[in-house]
Amino acid sequence: MFAQAVDGRILTVKQFRYAANKFCIELPGGVIDEGETPLVAAQRELLEETGYTATHWQSLGTMYANPARQTNTIHLFFATGLSLMGEQQLDASEDIEFNFLSTAEIQQKTETNEFSQALHIASFYRGLHALTLNTNTQ
């Protein structure tokens, strides 16, 4: 999800990814549990990974990782009105740090391969586009 703080910075998470053998900076997100809607899953994942909640959620649509070989759907949300509600609620196997970065910092980290997952890059730019549209319509 593209979660924006009042000061305009974007909430990111950093975690070790074994297949790449490196720490990756990403947008918060995760899987949809059985019986959850995509929105409820996004809200749960934001709270679990960062301890934050958001008061406003805007769907930015869906996209597919690789529809030629995979069936998963990526649901993207733009979250604003962030409030820290408490500690992270990580699974035993998770070790996630979170931070707020400016859009310029995320773009720079894309260039240095720190923000390197294709689906997160696509989600970031889709969120950035929505941010531009929201700013121009206000």
pTM over 0.95: no
Query: What mean pLDDT comes out for the span 84-93?
Result: 81
pLDDT tens per residue across span 30-80: 999 999 999 999 999 999 999 999 999 999 999 998 999 999 999 999 999
* Burial readout 45-66 (b: 16 or more C-beta within 10 A, e: otherwise): bbbbbbbbbbeebeebeeeeee
- The DSSP symbol for 4 reads B
Of 109, 120, 6, nearest in space to 74 by CA: 120
Q: What is the mean pLDDT of the chain?
A: 92
Q: What percent of the chain has pLDDT over 90?
A: 83
Interstrand relation of 22-26 and 52-64 (parallel, antiparallel or unpaired): unpaired
Its sign, for the CA torsion 99, 103, 104, 110, is positive
- Is there a contact between 128 and 122 (Cβ–Cβ < 8 Å)? no
CATH class of the domain comprising 2-136: alpha beta
Interstrand relation of 73-84 and 2-3 (parallel, antiparallel or unpaired): parallel
What are the domain boundaries of the chain? 2-136
pLDDT of residue 92: 72
Q: Is the pLDDT of residue 134 over 60?
A: yes
Query: What mean pLDDT comes out for the span 77-103?
Result: 89
- Report the C-alpha gap between 114 and 110 in whole angstroms: 6
**Whole-Å CA distances, 16 to 22, 42, 61, 99, 130:** 6, 21, 27, 15, 29
